[in-house]
Structure 1
Amino acid sequence: MLNPDSVLLLQGALGLYLAAALVQLCLLGGERRALRRGALALTGLAFALQTLYLASAWAQVGYLPVTNLFSTLFFFSWAMGGTFLYFELRYRIGAAGLFVLGVTMLLLVGALRRGPMISPLIPALDTPLFTMHVAFSFMGYALFAMAFSVAVAYLLPNFLRPPSMPSRELLRRHNEEAILLGFVFFSLCMISGSIWAYVAWGYWFSWNIKGVWSFIVWLFYAGMCHAKFVRRWQGEGYALLSIAGFFVVLFTYLGIGLLLQSNHPLE
């Protein structure tokens, strides 16, 4: 059990994310620089509180604190917060950021409902490869969630698109970049996981259900990196693939960990 006071950091982060989302709602009618900067500042503060919590928990337990459902939901939301800041600072994603903040808050609420428990690390996981594998995995997941959020914004009909929503062309580019970056991080996750498995158990790949579905996720997004060059999959088709792919990610992360027997259980 972590220090109960540290949970206040997560509650504060959730409150700041909610405030940022409310400010984003005020921006739906059009661009107002002061409000946009305020929303960005609130999101940055929320991410800073999450980072402080992560550093505190890591220092307390001595390893990357991502070992059960609470900690993975938290880490996923932290990665989403960082992903949002990257795209907002680089592109000013406008109203599309509401979808991203919504996903981030849902993950953080799910973590807080579980309570601040971090499971002990078994000896086979006590290696820098574990840290690399988990970090790359959730950075990939966060970018796939970003692509999902942008795809939902892309598919909104014209009469529901607020003035602050980026153009469809910009949303398409954001989606493609999120997919590409997510695929790179998830590839690094697969590589580090394979090396870790070989060092720990003497094989590079096993046909357990988590490994198989992780490979399916990798194949799916490898195909998406190719699909953006195929005309019939561009535009709405690519957005639909982004949404479908995120549901595959959710099944691989939550469905297998909670519902099925695997070597990556979530408790």
Structure 2
Amino acid sequence: MDRLLLNTAFATYLLSVLLYLAHALLRRPLLWRSAFGLVLAGFALQTVCLVLRWIQAGYLPITNLFSTLFFFSWALAACYLYFEIRYRIHAAGLFVMFLNLLLLGFAVPRNPAFAPLIPALDTPLFTLHVVFSFFGYALFAMAFSLGVLYLVRRTTGSELLPELSLLRKLNEESIFLGFCLFTLCMLFGSVWAQVAWGYYFSWNIKGIWSFLVWLFYAGMCHAKFVRRWQGTGYAILSIAGFGVVLFTYLGIGLLMSSNHPLE
């Protein structure tokens, strides 16, 4: 059942991306409405799959590469739906959902088996830490997408994309919300570490890079008030920041020895 739901969700997102692409070429409102409907359907399928896996495992399964990619994709879809429903960004969904499709596409061929939960992870503090972490990542991914779209809109002047002022506003909102959630991730992670191991912060590679991510986006929250970083500069920072996020999430988890391994 999990595999069927996962494959169906992937196919649904793929079709939505194709319809968004068709809308970009043909500019028919029916196409983006249909694409948005498919995103809602894909998100619903992912949500059902997540709930079923949670019930089967007895804990929120976000402990290995498959489950984190799946949850990252689900969180990004949730963030996109929030911005679409609130701001009607329409064609901008093409790039966001393509990024979401890549995340889910990397998860699909992997083993969805549940990883054993060690006692130190069997606590609500760990769950809150990971949930806030990936929703922060998802909002940073959203900011990355909006930054790319801002540069495309500025370069091409395409009227298909939202106005520069709206893209700038949404980019700044994504960064701010992502920073707030990632701050909660760091706080819950510190309390969890104190309970589990007796210290709030350890100088391991994952902890250091997570702090660097937090510091980078804290700087971005201030950079939006500095004239030379507004607009194009902020879009470039959003793109660069997501590179730091990906390294912290995948680079360290897969390539280095840390207390947050991905298998």
**Residues 153 and 164 in structure 2, CA contact (< 8 A), matched pair in contact too:** no
Amino acid at match of 1:189: C
Aligned residue identity for 1:108: L
- From 245, 249, 253, give the equivalent of 1:253: 249
Aligned ranges 1:80-119 → 2 under 5 Å: 80-119=76-115
Residue matched to 1:217 = 213
Correspondence 1:237 to 2:233: yes
Distance apart, 1:157 and its partner CA: 5.8
Corresponding residue for residue 77 of structure 1: 73
Structure 1 residues 157, 91: CA separation in 2 closer, same or farther (over 3 Å shift)?
A: closer
Residue 167 of structure 1 and its aligned partner are, at CA, apart by 1.1
Alignment of 1:39-58 (within 5 A): 39-58=35-54
Query: Does 2:47 align with 1:60?
Result: no
The residue that corresponds to 2:186 in the other structure is 190
Q: Which residue of 2 aligns with 1:151?
A: 147
Q: Which residue of structure 2 aligns with residue 127 of structure 1?
A: 123
More deviation, 95-104/48-57: 95-104
Give the structure-1-normalised TM-score.
0.95
Which residue in the other structure is 1:38 paired with?
34
Instruction: Work out whether residues 30 and 164 of structure 1, in 8 Å CA contact, stay in contact via their aligned partners in 2.
Output: no
Cα separation, 2, equivalents of 1:209 and 1:191: 18
Please, which runs of 5 or more residues in structure 1 have no aligned partner? none
Q: How many residues align?
A: 263
Q: CA deviation at 1:229?
A: 0.1
What value does the CA root-mean-square deviation take over the aligned residues? 1.3
After superposition, what is the alpha-carbon deviation per residue over 1:51-77, rounded to whole angstroms, capped at 9, x for unaligned? Answer: 000000000010010110011000000
Q: What is the TM-score of this pair, normalised by structure 2?
A: 0.97
Deviations 1:91-131 (A, max 9, x none): 11122211110110000010012121221110000000111
Offset of 1:227 from its aligned partner?
0.1
Aligned partner of residue 108 in structure 2, secondary structure: helix
| Residue identity in the other structure for 2:83 | F
Gaps of 5+ in 2: none
Are the equivalent residues in 1 in contact too, given 2:150–2:168 (CA < 8 A)?
A: yes
What is the identity, as a one-letter code, of the residue corresponding to 2:180?
V
2:182 matched to 1:178? no
Counterpart-to-counterpart distance in 1, 2:96 and 2:153: 19
* 1:159 shift after superposition: 6.5
Q: Determine what percentage of the aligned residue pairs are the same residue.
A: 64
